[in-house]
Amino acid sequence: MIRWFNILLICTALPVFVTGQSLRCIYEDMAIKYYQENDFLKAKAYSDSTLSECPDLFDNSYVWHVRGYIMYQVFLKVDNRSTESSAREESLEAFYRSITLDSLKEEQVAESKRAINQIAKTYWNDAAKALEDTNSFDKAIDYYSKFKKTKQIYSSNQDFSKYNIAFYQALGNQYRAKYNNNKKLYKEYIDLSINTYKKVLEIDSLEYSANYNLGVIYHNLAVDIILNEIELVEDLDLFLMFEEKTIEYFNYALPYLKNAYLVQPQNKQVIQGLAAVYLSLHDDEKHHLYMNVLKERQNSEKEKNNPTYSSWDSNYQYAIGDVVEYAGSFYKAVTASIGVAPNSSSADWEKIQE
C-alpha cells in the first residue's frame, strides 16, 4: 500500500457569478444559470455556445473563468473523476486563459488559481493511485508530470523538492517490489529502482530512506550472487568473476548505509546492515565494532522497557516525580518528603505498579 500521500478532498466553494456580461449574448447567462442549478451538462452546452456564437466574448477573461468552474464540475460530478475525462484538461485550460487574458482582476485570478491548485491535487492523487498497480508506472509518471505542470501554473516559483522526494521514493519502492516479485522476469526493475532512489539523493544527499534502501539493495544483490550463482559454479574463472562482483556490490552498499547511520545512529536495522556488510568484506574489526554498537542499543532498549528503581530509603529526601520500590511495589512521589513510607500516605506517594 502506498503511504506517501493523503487523498485530498475536492471541496471548491461555488464562485459568485454575475450575469448580464453582454446584452448581445444570452448563452453566458444561461451557462451561469444552469451551473447554479447543478445541471453541469446544460451549463457546458451553453458555455460552448458562448464561445462559438459570441465571438466578441472569446477573449473575455470572465467567460473563461466561468467555463473553468463548469468543466471542473463536469469532471467531478458528471464524469465521476474519471482519469479518461477530458473535462479536467478543459477546466485547466479555461482557468489558465482567464488568468492570462486579464491578470489585473485580482479576486478573479485568486479564485482561478485556487481552482487550479485543486486540479493539481487530483493529478497528485491519480499518480499515487497508479503506483498501487505495478503495471501502471508510466501512468503514474504521466500524472505526476501533469501535477507539476499544473502546480507551476498555480505558482510559477513552486519548489518541488518535497514532492519529488515523495514521488521518487514511492516509485523506487514499487520498482523494487516488482523486481522482488520475480527477480529473473523483472530484473530490469532493480536498476530502475536504484536510479530512482538516486534521484532522491540528488535533492537531499542525506535522505534516510533512499540511502538505506540503496544500501540494502546492493547488499542483497551480493547475497543473491552468493546464494544462487557462486555455489553452482564449477569454472574457476567464472567463480572469481562472481566473487569480484559480490565484493563490488558490498562496497557499493557501504556509503549509503553510512549515510543512513549518520541520520539515524540509533536505528538497529542500519547498524545490523553495516555489521553484515563489514562481515562480508572480512573486515572483522569494524564488524565487531558495529555488533558492539548493536548490543549496546539492544541493552539500552531493554533497560528502557524494563527500568530498575532503587529501594525506598527513610533517610533520603525525595523530590516530586521520584520513583522507588517498596515492599514489592513501585511508588511515585507526589510531594517532597523524607521518612514517609510509600504505603503509609497516599498524599505523598502514588502507587504505579504492582
For the segment 270-319, what is each residue's pLDDT rounded down to a tens digit?
999 999 999 999 999 999 999 999 998 888 776 666 566 678 787 787 88
- HSE at residue 53, side-chain half, CA atoms within 13 A, is 12
Residue 95 lies inside a defined structural domain of this protein: yes
Mind listing the pLDDT tens digit for each residue in 206-230? 999 999 999 999 999 999 988 886 6
Q: Is residue 19's pLDDT more than 50?
A: no
**Per-residue confidence band for 20, with pLDDT thresholds at 50, 70 and 90:** very low
Residue 25 lies inside a defined structural domain of this protein: yes
In percent, how much of the chain has pLDDT > 90?
66
Residue 136: predicted pLDDT = 92
* Angle at the Cα of 163 from the Cα atoms of 162 and 166, rounded to 5 degrees: 85
Mind listing the pLDDT tens digit for each residue in 149-169? 999 999 989 999 999 999 999
- The CA distance from 353 to 3, in Å, is 38
User: Domain boundary residue among 204, 238, 262?
Assistant: 204
Residue found under cell 485547466: 92
Residue 332: predicted pLDDT = 86
User: Domain boundary residue among 306, 321, 341?
Assistant: 306
Residue 99: predicted pLDDT = 94
Residue 147 lies inside a defined structural domain of this protein: yes
Give the closest residue to 167 by CA, choosing from 205, 197, 207: 197
Mean pLDDT computed over 110-132: 96
Residue found under cell 516525580: 321
- pTM value is 0.77
- The CA distance from 230 to 224, in Å, is 9
Residue 303: predicted pLDDT = 62
Judgement on whether residues 301 and 313 belong to the same structural domain of the protein: no
**Per-residue confidence band for 69, with pLDDT thresholds at 50, 70 and 90:** very high
Residue 2: predicted pLDDT = 45
Q: Which domain holds residue 192?
A: 159-204
Mean residue pLDDT of the chain comes to 87
Q: Is residue 86's pLDDT more than 80?
A: yes
Judgement on whether residues 129 and 41 belong to the same structural domain of the protein: yes
Residue 261 lies inside a defined structural domain of this protein: yes
Neighbours of 345 (CB within 10 A): 12
Residue 162, φ and ψ in degrees, nearest 5 = -65, -35
- Listed in sequence order, the residues at least 6 apart from 183 whose beta carbon sits closer than 8 Å to its beta carbon are 190, 224
- The CA distance from 82 to 97, in Å, is 23
How far from 68 is each of 54, 56, 92, 142, CA to CA, in Å? 18, 19, 7, 22
Strand arrangement of the beta sheet that strand 323-326 belongs to: 323-326, 329-333, 349-353
How far from 297 is each of 30, 171, 272, 302, 309, CA to CA, in Å? 71, 32, 11, 9, 20
Judgement on whether residues 301 and 317 belong to the same structural domain of the protein: no
Listed in order, strand segments (DSSP E) in 203-328 are 323-326
Residue 243: predicted pLDDT = 80
Judgement on whether residues 124 and 59 belong to the same structural domain of the protein: yes
Pairwise pLDDT comparison (352 vs 253), residue with the higher score: 253
Judgement on whether residues 281 and 183 belong to the same structural domain of the protein: no
Q: Is residue 261's pLDDT more than 80?
A: yes
Residue 181 lies inside a defined structural domain of this protein: yes
Mean pLDDT computed over 189-200: 97
Q: Is residue 21's pLDDT more than 70?
A: no
Cα 318 from chain centroid (whole Å): 48
Judgement on whether residues 314 and 295 belong to the same structural domain of the protein: no
For residue 125, the domain's CATH number is 1.25.40
Mind listing the pLDDT tens digit for each residue in 93-109? 999 999 999 877 889 99
**Per-residue confidence band for 234, with pLDDT thresholds at 50, 70 and 90:** low
Residue 335: predicted pLDDT = 86
Judgement on whether residues 149 and 19 belong to the same structural domain of the protein: yes
338 neighbors 318 (Cβ within 8 angstroms): yes
Judgement on whether residues 148 and 16 belong to the same structural domain of the protein: yes
- The CA distance from 183 to 64, in Å, is 52
Neighbours of 324 (CB within 10 A): 18
Neighbours of 317 (CB within 10 A): 10
226 neighbors 212 (Cβ within 8 angstroms): no
Judgement on whether residues 252 and 293 belong to the same structural domain of the protein: yes
Residue 111 lies inside a defined structural domain of this protein: yes
- Listed in sequence order, the residues at least 6 apart from 62 whose beta carbon sits closer than 8 Å to its beta carbon are 21, 98, 105, 108
Residue 139, φ and ψ in degrees, nearest 5 = -65, -45
Judgement on whether residues 142 and 15 belong to the same structural domain of the protein: yes
Residue 213 lies inside a defined structural domain of this protein: no
- The CA distance from 68 to 38, in Å, is 15
Residue 30 lies inside a defined structural domain of this protein: yes
Mind listing the pLDDT tens digit for each residue in 128-151? 999 999 889 999 999 999 999 999
- Relative orientation angle of helices 27-36 and 40-53, to the nearest 10 degrees: 160
User: How many folded domains does the chain comprise?
Assistant: 4
Judgement on whether residues 88 and 42 belong to the same structural domain of the protein: yes
Judgement on whether residues 284 and 350 belong to the same structural domain of the protein: no
